[in-house]
């Protein structure tokens, strides 16, 4: 329902980013309210006993598993949508527009994989390895970065936004 209302207002380019941010804040607020009400209801929600026994044997709590699943899901689609919406107004005018739909999909998938790898490195406290991921990404784009200053700034902004998303999500 919220997304349907947002779609009507979404048509104006100048308000697109603000509407997106408000939409996300409303979604998060609703999730927090529902979570609070579920906790306050006092009902216990039963999980599969076998799964709980296995997790207890290996020393992992169900909460840890749920948090990890939520983190991985958040660094995928929500982070992609967030980054695309923020970056849209900063996109350089491409003289040779060879960005096909497949190229865009590949870029989104690369970004998702990059964020998942960084998330796991952060979770296992291998902070210097995050730098390795960022370095590998920059080496792959070195020629384009060194030749096109406008692209370099766009690339840096996208990389920093992606990194901020991972850092914020890893705090959960």
- For 7, 37, 63, the CA distances from 41, given in Å and listed in that order, are 34, 6, 19
- The 10 Å Cβ neighbour count of residue 9 is 13
| pTM of the predicted protein model | 0.67
What's the pLDDT at 59? 87
For residues 164 and 129, give the distance between their C-alpha atoms in angstroms, rounded to a whole number.
16
Backbone angles phi, psi at 125, to 5 degrees: 60, 35
pLDDT tens for each residue of the chain, 172 residues long:
555 555 555 556 667 778 888 888 899 899 889 878 877 876 666 656 777 778 888 888 888 888 999 999 999 989 999 998 998 888 877 655 566 777 778 888 889 999 999 999 999 999 999 999 999 988 988 998 899 889 889 999 999 999 999 999 999 8
The structure tokens listed for 113 are: 């994989």
Which among 79, 95, 113, 85 is positioned nearest to 151, based on CA atoms? Answer: 95
Question: Looking up tokens 């207002």, which residue turns up?
Answer: 9
């Amino acid at each position: 329902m919220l997304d349907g209302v947002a779609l009507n207002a979404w048509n104006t380019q100048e308000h697109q980013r603000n509407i997106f941010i408000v939409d996300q804040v409303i979604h998060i607020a609703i999730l927090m309210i529902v979570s609070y009400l579920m906790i306050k209801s006092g009902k216990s929600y039963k999980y599969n006993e076998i799964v709980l026994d296995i997790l207890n044997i290996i020393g992992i709590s169900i909460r840890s598993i749920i948090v990890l699943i939520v983190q991985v899901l958040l660094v995928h689609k929500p982070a992609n949508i967030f980054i695309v919406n923020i970056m849209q107004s900063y996109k350089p005018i491409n003289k040779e527009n060879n960005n096909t739909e497949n190229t865009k999909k590949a870029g989104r998938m690369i970004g998702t994989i990059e964020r998942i790898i960084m998330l796991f490195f952060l979770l296992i406290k291998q902070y210097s390895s995050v730098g390795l991921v960022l370095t590998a990404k920059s080496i792959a784009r070195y020629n384009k970065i060194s030749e096109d200053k406008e692209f370099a700034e766009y690339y840096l902004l996208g990389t920093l936004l992606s990194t901020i998303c991972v850092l914020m999500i890893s705090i959960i």
